[in-house]
Structure 1
Amino acid sequence: MNKVPATAFDFLNDLKQNNNRPWFVAHKSEFDAAFGSIKDFFKSIYDEMQSLDSIERFHVHRIYRDVRFAKDKTPYKDYFGLHLGRSKPLLRGGYYVSIEPGKSFVGGGFWEPDKTDLLRIRKDIEQDDSELRSLIEDPEFITYFGGLSGEELKTAPKGFDKEHPAIDLLRKKQFLVMRSFSDEEVLAADFGREVIKTFVAMRPWFDYMSEVLTTDANGVDLFS
C-alpha cells in the first residue's frame, strides 16, 4: 500500500502561510507532485476497500476552495481529502480521510442525511435504541472513535418527546465518527493499514444504519 509522502505536509505547511494565487501558481509543480502522490495513496485505500465493501464513489477533493458563500475567502484548501461512498441504495454511509498538518483524521458516517432518512433513523431510535446503542458503546467502537459526534439540536426534534430516554440520540442531525492521527502516524509506513482498520471498525454501525434506511417501520424491505 502506498505511503503519504513528507512532501505533502511540506507543501501544505507552505500553502497555509502563502494562501494566495500568485504563490500557488509559482509553486504549481510542487502541488502537482504532492497531489499526485496523495492521489496514489488514496487510490490504494480505495482498491483495498473494494475487496472489503462495495464502493461506488471515489472522490478526491479539489484543492480549490469555493469561496462564494464562505467566510474563509482564501482560495485554496490547506488539506487533502478523500471520500468513499458505499453503493446506494442498499448500502449507506461514507468513509473519509483528511490529511492536514496537525489535524489529520479518518472518519465517516452520515454528514447530511436528507429529511426522509433522518426521520426514519429517529423513528427507529424512538421505537428501540438498544441495537444502535450497543453498537456505538461497543468497546472496540469506543477505542477507535470515543463515540458519535456531529451537529445536534438543542431540544427534541418536532414530533418527538423531549423526555424520551434516547433524547441524546434523537437530537442528532448528523451521525459521525472520527479518529485523529498525529503527523508522525500519518507518515508512518503502516498508516494505510490503520485507515483500513478504522474503516472496518465502522462497518457494523454502517450495516445497521443501512438496514434501517432500506426498510419501513415494520421491517419490510423497500427495495425488493
Structure 2
Amino acid sequence: MSTDFPGFPKAGFEFLDDLKENNTRDWFAENKARYRETLQDHLLDFIQAMVEPLAEITPHFVADARRNGGSMFRIHRDVRFSKDKRPYKEHAACHFRHSLGRDAHAPGFYVHLATDEVLYGGGIWMPPSDALYMIRRAIADRPKEWEKVLSDQAIRDIFGEIGGDGLKRPPKGFSADEPHIKDLKRKTFFLMHRTTPKAAQSPAFLNEVVEGFKTAAPLMRFLCKAVDVPF
C-alpha cells in the first residue's frame, strides 16, 4: 500500500475558506496559482497515491491523476440552469469511477474536502432510469444479498446506514409492502463517512480512506452486479 501521501495542507482549507468570502471570477483569477499550489496539486498527489491501493480493492475502478478529465472534479460550477450564480464550488472532490462509467452517475468511490467537513465513501449518485430500475430490481429479487449488505457490521461501524434521497411513494412496478421498500424508493445509494479537515491533514488519512473503501466493497459489489458491470 502506498503511504507517501503526507496529508492535505492546512493552506488548502484556508484557500477554500477565503473562496467562500470571495467567490468571484476576478478573485479566483488573482488566486489561481494559490489554488493550484495549496489544493489542486495535493489532490492530484492523493489521487496518484490511491492508484495501487484502489487496484488491490478492485481492478475495475480508476484513479486518474490528470488535471482535466480524470478523477478530480472541476472547481467550476455549472450555473446554466441554477439560480445560484456563484462560479466556483466551495469544496474540492475526486471520484474514482468504474472503468465502464463515463461520469459521476456510474458506481464509484468519492472523497470530498470542505472547510467544515471531509467525506469519503462509495455508491452511485442519481443513476439514469434504466440503471436505477436494475438496482431496484436486484434489491427486490435478491433480498438476502441486500440484507447481507445492510447487516454488515463493519459497514455499520464506519458508515452507519446506507443513505440517499428517495421518493415519497413506491416506484412504478413495486408495491408498498415490498420488504425493502425504503431502499426501493431511493434514487441514490451511498455510504459516506464524515470526518474533519484536521484528520485529512494527517499522513494517516490515505490509509483511513483506503480502509473505508475496502469496507464499502459489499455495497459496491452489489451495485456493480445489479447494473451488470464487473467489480
Specify the TM-score bucket, using the shorter chain as the normaliser: 0.7 to 0.9
Q: Which runs of 5+ in 2 are unaligned?
A: 65-70
Identity across the alignment (%) = 30
Corresponding residue for residue 117 of structure 1: 131
Aligned partner (choices 4, 11, 32) of residue 28 of structure 1: 32
Counterpart of 2:171, as a letter, is P
Counterpart of 2:50 (choices 29, 45, 54) is 45
| 1:61 and 1:81 in contact (8 A); partners too | yes
Contact conserved, 1:106 with 1:179, CA < 8 A, in 2? yes
Alpha-carbon spacing, 1:51–1:138, altered in 2? closer, same or farther (3 Å) = closer
Runs of 5+ unmatched residues, structure 1: 216-222
**What is the match of residue 148 of structure 1?**
162
- Structure 2 residue aligned with 1:66, among 70, 73, 78? 78
> How many Å separate the matches in 1 of 2:37 and 2:142?
51
* Deviation (angstroms), 1:161: 0.9
Bigger CA radius of gyration = 1
Letter of the 1:50 counterpart: A
User: Do 2:122 and 2:220's aligned partners in 1 also have CA atoms closer than 8 Å?
Assistant: no
Equivalent in the alignment of 2:190: 176
Which stretch shows the higher mean deviation, 188-197 or 205-214? 205-214
Deviation at 1:61, TM superposition (A): 1.1
Shift of 1:87: 2.8
Match of 1:128 in 2: 142
Per-residue deviation, 1:57: 5.9
Query: How many residues are paired up?
Result: 214
Q: In the alignment, is residue 82 of structure 1 matched against residue 94 of structure 2?
A: yes
Q: Secondary structure at the match of 1:88?
A: coil
Partner AA of 1:16 in structure 2: K
TM-score (norm 1): 0.88
Correspondence 1:197 to 2:211? yes
**Whole-angstrom CA distance in 1 between matches of 2:27 and 2:208:** 34
Task: Quickly say closer, same or farther: Cα 1:26–1:212, change in 2 above 3 A.
Answer: closer
Could you give the per-residue CA deviations for residues 14-71 of structure 1, whole angstroms, max 9, x where no partner exists?
1111111222122222112021122112221234312332224632111111111123
Contact 1:93 1:108 in 2 (8 A): yes
- Partner Cα distance (1:214, 1:184) in 2: 39
